[in-house]
Every structure is written in structure tokens, then in C-alpha cells.
Structure 1
Amino acid sequence: MPLTTTDTTISDFEEVFKRFKSENSQNQLKFLLFLADKDPSTSLSWCPDCNVAEPVIYEKLKASEKDVVLLRAYVGDRPTWRNPSHPWRIDPRFKLRGVPTLIRWENEAAIGRLEDHEARLGNKIDALLPSNLSVLLQQ
């Protein structure tokens, strides 16, 4: 099924996130993916885990039986992310501890998440998809 992505940064996140949440469709899954910024000269992230996880995440989400809407939120450069007061670290909706972080969003809440090294594991990503989510929530 189709994978639709939208990108955002700290500066425009609330506006973009509001639109993301307002999109309603019965046959649609919503995910947030928090990533480290990319270096424009190399197109690679400063975060090695992000570079490994991204292709796996996209492959798995594209293979979903439902349409997937993915909001990619870029946390900033390394010094910005390392700040303990980073807005997404202290935001009670997300409580980020690391990047990449993949969050399944439904009914105004995170109903599943993978952080750091877990976000690159295909079987863990599969567990966030609807047919497998009940197994993940029981763990």
C-alpha cells in the first residue's frame, strides 16, 4: 500500500503535527519517525542508527496491507539533540530518549514505539503493524 511521508522540524512541528492528527481514514496507519538531521553534502544522518534503520522502516511500512502516513520529525544537529531540554525529550507525548524512534500513533496517543537499535529490526517493526500489535502490547 502507499506510504505517504511528510517532513517537519522543531520550528514547524506543532502545525504539521496538527494536520497529521486530523487526517482520518479507516484504512490508514499513522507513524511518527524521529530522526537526526542529515548532512546536505552527504545526505547521511549524523546518527549511524538512523542511517541503518531508515531503509528497513520504509521497506516494512511500504509492505503494509493498509495505507501508511509517516511524519518524519528531524531533531536537529547533534548539539541540539544532546540538550537535555530538547523539546521532544521533555514533551509528555513523546518523551524521546534516542533517535531513531518510530511511534505508532492512534487515537491521540502513542500505542507502540521502537527506539534506537530496535527501530532497525524488521520483526520489531512488523510487530507495530495492526495484525501484530496485540502481541507487542502484551509483552
Structure 2
Amino acid sequence: MGFTQIDATLENFSTAFESIETNNVKDQVTLLLFLADKDPASGLSWCPDCVRAEPVIYKTLEKSEKNTVLLRAFAGNRPTWRNPSHPWRVDERFRLKGLPTLIRWRDGAIAGRLEDNEAHIESRISKLLE
């Protein structure tokens, strides 16, 4: 079935997040994937864990039978993310500690979460989709 992907930055995250919450349909899996920005020079994320996890996440979502919406939220460059008062670190809803973080969002709350050290493990991603 595949998945629908929406990209957001710090600047437009609230709008994108509200739109997926508002347009959520029955039996739809909503995932939030918090990532580091891409390095313009290489085209790859500055975060090695993101580089490792992204292809596994996308492959797992492609194989899934679930109707999935993936909101990719780009946290900024390294200095922006490293700031302890980064908006997604202090947001009560997410309290991010590392990148990437993959969250299953259901009924206005976190229904499952994979932190940076496990977001590249296909079996864990599949379990999050169940």
C-alpha cells in the first residue's frame, strides 16, 4: 500500500501537524519522524543515525499493508538541534532526546516510540505499525 509523506521544518511544523491530526481517517497509522536536516554539500543528513535509519523506515513502510501518513519533521542543523531549548526537546508532547525519533501518534498522544538507537531496526518499526 505504501505511505503518504509530508515534510515539515521547525517553521511550518505546527501547521503540518494540525493538518494530519485534523484529516486523520479511521484505520490510518500516523507516524512522526523527527530527523536532522540534510547537509547541502553532501545531500545526506548531518546525523549518522538518521542516514542509517531512514532507508530502513521507508522500506518497511513501503512493504506495510497499513494506510500510513508519515510526517517528516526536520529539526534543523547541528547547532540548532544541540540547543537544550530546541522546541521539540521541550515540547511536552514529544520531549525529544535524540534524532531520529519515530513516533506513532494516535488520539492526540504517543502510542509508540523508537528512539535514535533503535529507529533503524526493521522488526521494531514493523511492531510500531501493528
Q: Same fold judged by TM-score > 0.5?
A: yes
1:85 aligned to 2:85? Answer: yes
Alignment of 1:18-29 (within 5 A): 18-29=18-29
Residue number in structure 1 paired with 2:4: 4
Q: For the residues of structure 2 that align with 1:126 and 1:12, how far apart are their CA atoms?
A: 28
Query: What does residue 100 of structure 1 align with?
Result: 100
Instruction: Please state whether the residue corresponding to 1:111 is helix, strand or coil.
Output: strand
- Indicate the RMSD between aligned Cα atoms, in angstroms: 0.9
Which residues of structure 1 form unaligned runs of 5+? 131-139
1:16 is aligned to 16
**Residues 2-81 of structure 1 aligned to structure 2 (within 5 Å):** 2-81=2-81
Ranges in structure 2 where 5+ consecutive residues have no aligned partner: none
C-alpha separation in 2, matches of 1:48 and 1:24: 32
Q: Percent identity?
A: 57
| Contact 1:62 1:68 survives alignment (8 Å) | no
Whether the 8 Å CA contact 2:80–2:86 is kept in 1: the answer is: yes
Count of aligned positions: 130
In 2: Cα distance, 1:123 partner to 1:46 partner: 25
Contact 1:28 1:67 in 2 (8 A): yes
Give the conservation status (yes or no) of the 8 Å contact 2:66–2:129.
no
Segments of 4+ moved more than 4 angstroms: none
> By percentage of residues, which structure has more helix?
1
